[in-house]
């Protein structure tokens, strides 16, 4: 049984859900879309174009960490999509499963904005992309992270994650 736990992270429009679902399928693990655990008040704020504060995110991050802890304690693998924009947010997630593997998706503003503008049925407006980018603290090499430009195809990103998932902790790709 695969007990690896992955967090696919990055700003809105980077492809967290797509890459996360494909990675989970390839590893035969459960995929958890982190956005589904946002409380309604957070979703309403974002839909109205209001950026979330650290305080707004805290309960959501704690709920995600609890899910990670449950998987870790049960020895079950999991792939979670979560923006995880700041080191402090990632620390909360790590409190649930200390050996998390982060898959950091990043890209040029123009590409991210085009992706956000093209999607339908999502509550996150394009107007919040700049605030997410301003909040983002890119993960460092000590965070067990693999980094990918979202200009790459999702299936190529997943193949690279699979090829490197047994590499030494803390290395960035």
- 69 CB-contact burial (10 Å; exposed 0-12 / middle 13-18 / buried 19+): middle
Please determine, for residue 116, whether its predicted confidence score (pLDDT) is greater than 90: no
| More confident call, 170 vs 38 | 38
End-to-end CA distance of the chain: 26
Domain boundaries, the chain: 5-164
Q: Which of 49-63, 115-129, 149-163 has the lowest mean pLDDT?
A: 115-129
Mean pLDDT of 57-85: 95
Instruction: Classify domain 5-164 at the CATH class level.
Output: alpha beta
pLDDT tier at 31, thresholds 50, 70, 90: very high
**pLDDT for 4-17, tens place per residue?**
999 999 998 899 99
User: What's the sign of the alpha-carbon dihedral 87, 89, 91, 94?
Assistant: negative
Alpha helices for the chain (secondary structure H): 16-27, 40-47, 54-74, 87-96, 109-118, 129-135, 154-164
* pTM (2 d.p.): 0.87
């Amino acid at each position: 049984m695969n007990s690896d736990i992955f967090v696919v992270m990055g700003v809105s429009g980077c492809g967290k859900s797509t890459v996360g679902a494909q990675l989970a399928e390839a590893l035969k693990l459960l995929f958890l879309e982190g956005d589904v655990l946002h409380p309604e008040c957070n979703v309403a704020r974002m839909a109205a174009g209001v950026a979330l504060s650290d305080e707004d995110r805290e309960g959501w991050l704690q709920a995600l960490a609890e899910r990670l802890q449950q998987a870790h304690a049960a020895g079950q693998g999991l792939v979670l999509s979560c923006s995880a924009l700041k080191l402090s947010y990632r620390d909360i997630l790590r409190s649930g499963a200390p050996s998390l593997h982060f898959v950091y998706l990043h890209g040029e503003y123009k590409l991210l904005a085009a992706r956000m503008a093209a999607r339908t049925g999502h509550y996150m407006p394009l107007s919040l992309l700049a605030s997410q980018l301003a909040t983002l603290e890119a993960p460092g090499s000590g965070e067990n992270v693999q980094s990918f430009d979202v200009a790459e195809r999702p299936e190529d990103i997943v193949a690279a994650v699979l090829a490197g998932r047994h590499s030494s902790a803390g290395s960035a790709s």
